[in-house]
Amino acid sequence: MPYPGCHVSIGKGYYEAARAAHRQGASAFQYFPKNPRSLTVKSWDATDTARCARYCGEHGLQSIAHSSYPANLAADEPEQMTRVVDSLRNDLEIAEACGSLGVVVHFGIYKGDDLLQGYRNIIRSLDRTLEGWQGRAKLLIENQSGEHARMGMTVEELAQVRQLSRQPEGIGYCLDTCHLYASGQWNGQDEASWLRRAQDTGVLAELVAVHLNDSLHPSGSYRDRHAGLGEGCIGTDALRRLVTAEGLRHLPLVLETPKEADGTHREQLRLVRSWLD
Ligand SMILES: [Zn+2]
């Protein structure tokens, strides 16, 4: 069963977010569990999250949460790391209550000289967030474009941080097609070799969701600017080939692209569904 989806607002709550996704023809959606610019721990309405989970179950909807932008796994400063960990744990709890597959978190940005310390911080933050976690929702590490730091672009890095963590079973991946392209890991034609590396490193087997975006900038530009399907440098043929590959086609394929004139992703969802039918 295919799961084309899009990002939706929780302005009217989690249940209404699920309904808004379903109304525009999505079978999957992504949401920010709280204000995406803040790491503040949020207390939520358990009735609303339970209604969201029930609605998704009844309508065959899959969902993922996206962590706040300041949630940098590579954060160096101890107080900052604690704030990131507390925020991510809060996101995991909300995602679990909504019946979501997991919480997307970017690989991490480290600006110091000792790059290895950046990777240590990422693993430490993952371990602390997942300490004692018994839920089904996972942390979903997202590949990066390389715009802010040349980190988290390769499947080898994604595989290593999971393998070196204490609770790898609590960690999966989210593949962003714009980031994959912008990072130069994919040029729009060589998806077969990337898929082989993703399989060999074990990343493909742990992939839980895809962010389906075109890219405004060329492959190898390291610039993270999403474009609507067919409105960027990748093009619909290459995107279709990648996401219909075995290992990807049954995952939630979530658009993080600009809304269409009517404020929805209806046409792009229809196009993705036509690739999968
Ligand atoms: Zn993304």
Residue 43 belongs to domain spanning:
3-276
Kindly state the tokens that stand for 55.
């609605």
Predicted TM-score of the model (pTM): 0.97
For residue 45, the CA-to-ligand 1 centroid distance in Å is 27
CATH at residue 85: 3.20.20.150
> Which residues, by Cβ under 5 Å, contact ligand 1, an ion?
176, 211
Instruction: Kindly report, residue by residue over 45-55, the tens digit of the pLDDT.
Output: 999 999 999 99
Number of domains within the chain: 1
For residue 77, the CA-to-ligand 1 centroid distance in Å is 25
Instruction: Kindly report, residue by residue over 164-222, the tens digit of the pLDDT.
Output: 999 999 999 999 999 999 999 999 999 999 999 999 999 999 999 999 999 999 999 99
For residue 145, the CA-to-ligand 1 centroid distance in Å is 10
Contacts of 193 (CB under 8 A, 6+ apart): none
Instruction: Kindly report, residue by residue over 82-110, the tens digit of the pLDDT.
Output: 999 999 999 999 999 999 999 999 999 99
Q: What per-residue string of b and e applies to 147-162 under the rule 16 or more CB within 10 Å gives b?
A: bbbebbbbbebbbebb
Helices 191-200, 155-163: axis angle to 10 degrees equals 10
- 81: β partners: none
Kindly state the tokens that stand for 132.
């004692």
The fraction of the chain above a pLDDT of 90, given in percent, is 99
